[in-house]
Amino acid sequence: MKVDILTLFPEMFRGPFDESIIRRAQDKGLVQIGLHQIRDHAADRHHTVDDTPYGGGAGMVMKPEPLAACIETARQHNPHATVLLTSPKGVPLSHRLAVDLAARPGLIIVCGRYEGIDERVRELFVDQEISIGDYVLSGGELAAMVVVDAVTRLVPGVLGSEESAANDSFSDGLLEYPQYTRPPVFRNHAVPEVLLSGNHALIAQWRRQQALQRTRRQRPDLLETAPLTEQDRRFLAQSHP
């Protein structure tokens, strides 16, 4: 998958994209990430990319011409791409949306800055506007990194069968069970006995119950839609909330 990112701060991406899973996905040729400096497409002597809002009000707005020119350049490298805009006004990113985006042939991600972009650029070029949650960021770059990370893990071949995305939280609608590794006792806290028992049916049941309890405590909203068995419901009814 080709991903082109349009930003006023391309340097912000280098560290995060040069490590770990995103690095490996690029090295394997499964994901190709291009960074584009929007300012390079400004035609005036001062490379102006923002201007004051019509109608007045605080802050600045991203000018349409450099942004449109930058999108058109990215589109030449990435002709079948879906154009995304990171914006606090967007639809919230979810696992389902990430799965949907991972199936596209390419993405062009426009990183919003200032108060946002000129509405005509959104109308003419943007297919989907995405937020990463209800809190205020300084701009769209960190949100674009989150989108690329979530989507890259879902591109076929990026994860090995061990780390397979099918086991991730949210794929069964519940939060994950707790994990332990050696040593068996750490600062007087022991690993739950059942995990050392070798009884795989009992371990699976314990993990399911832990996932159910944890989800009820941290994310009760997920229990409304998670597919629960009759046994799950009985367990929740008889265990402490």
Among 97-105, 125-133, 176-184, 199-207, the segment contacting ligand 9D3 (CB under 6 A): 125-133
Task: Tell me, yes or no, if 227 is annotated catalytic.
Answer: no
Cβ proximity to ligand 9D3: between 83 and 143 the closer is: 143
C-alpha dihedral (123, 128, 134, 137), degrees to nearest 10: -70
Q: Pick the binder of ligand 9D3 from 112, 117, 125, 154 (CB under 6 A).
A: 112
Single out the catalytic residue among 39, 88, 207, 219.
88
**Which one, of 1, 218, 238, lies nearest residue 105 by Cα?**
1
Q: Number of residues interacting with ligand 9D3: please give it, by CB under 6 A.
A: 15
Q: How far is the CB of 102 from ligand 9D3 (least distance, A)?
A: 19
Q: Where are the alpha helices (DSSP H) in the chain?
A: 11-17, 20-27, 64-77, 95-102, 119-125, 141-152, 200-218, 220-225, 230-238
With binding defined as CB under 6 A, does residue 154 bind ligand 9D3?
no
Q: Where are the alpha helices (DSSP H) in 78-199?
A: 95-102, 119-125, 141-152
With binding defined as CB under 6 A, does residue 139 bind ligand 9D3?
yes
Residues that bind ligand 9D3 (CB under 6 A): 86-88, 112, 115-116, 131-133, 135-137, 139-140, 143
